Amino acid sequence: MPEKPLFCLGEAWVELGADTVPELAETFRVSVGGWGATFCRAYVRGGGHAALLSQLGADPFGRKAAAQLAADGIDCTHLCFTDAAPTPVVFSGAGKLLPYRAPSAELLYAPEQLDAAALRGAFALCFSSGCLLDSPARLTHLKAIAAARDAGAFVCYAPRMAEAAPCWPDATALRETALQFFPQADVLLLKDSDLVSLFGSHELRTALFSLFSGHVELIFYSSSDNVFLFTRNVLLQAATSDLTEAQFLRDLARLNTWPDKLAGLRETTLKKLFL
């Protein structure tokens, strides 16, 4: 039986990268970035089937991005295109990110454009904070989450606070929105940098109990040298930085379990996600 696909709802943009800060660069490397594109690519490289739910501009940048994503093995059959706004372009260099979204195509991705029926065959829906601004795309996230839940698929949220921050005009709005979306996920994919933005501390225990609210039953947490896996009853730790979030979800897919079974998973079963 074919493995069910992972659907990523999120941004794809044309990224112009340099070795120095963008304003000093004379030449740029062109790639296709954005959380949605990057996560799909990582999942495909791990042997999975990933589909991107997003919108690009009906412009040369959008066509270039779509062609590259397809060449990377990502299912682009659900991508939308619009003349109403351009494909986002991001300049990056020396750790600095300068996005141009005012607004760009993915923020205009409206609920009526979402093919909710496609999620009936999904293993999981995964999203981040980059497109949760007050826009049509935010409403599309709510529709997609509802459709995934109706289909019995996992809903996975990777806040990516540090990556999303340059795309948000206000850090407080980003934090409040992220906290509002936490309870809608079955699985949280967290990094240590997320804790600082959300709770003002790297101390995981400070935040842990507040994270288990709503539908949340499983938390994957990674730092520079450790990964942790939490349910409401089990804590596992591994001293490795090799296990990525994409690989973790691939392993979760192979467990052949369902969202409503997460709370009852035993430690012996959860350890398989660290192999």
pLDDT digits (tens), the chain, 275 positions: 578 999 999 999 999 999 888 778 889 999 999 999 999 999 999 999 999 999 999 999 999 999 999 999 999 999 999 999 999 999 988 888 888 777 899 999 999 999 999 999 999 999 999 999 999 999 999 999 999 999 999 999 999 999 999 999 899 999 999 999 999 999 999 998 898 889 887 777 777 778 999 999 999 999 888 899 999 888 898 876 678 999 999 999 999 899 999 989 899 998 888 76
Give me the pLDDT at residue 125, please. Answer: 99
CB 259 within 8 A of CB 270: no
* Cα separation, 226 vs 250, whole angstroms: 19
- The rounded distance, in Å, linking the Cα atoms of 159 and 3 is 26
Question: 251 is written with which tokens?
Answer: 């392993």
Tokens describing residue 10: 């999120």
Q: What are phi and psi of 62, to 5 degrees?
A: -65, -40
Provide the strand spans (E) within the chain: 6-9, 13-18, 29-33, 50-53, 55-57, 80-82, 89-93, 96-100, 124-127, 154-157, 187-191, 218-222, 227-230, 235-238
CATH of region 6-274: 3.40.1190.20
> Quick one: tokens of 231?
């349910």
- The span from the CA of 91 to the CA of 68, in Å, is 18
Domain boundaries along the sequence of the chain: 6-274
Q: What is the pLDDT of residue 201?
A: 76
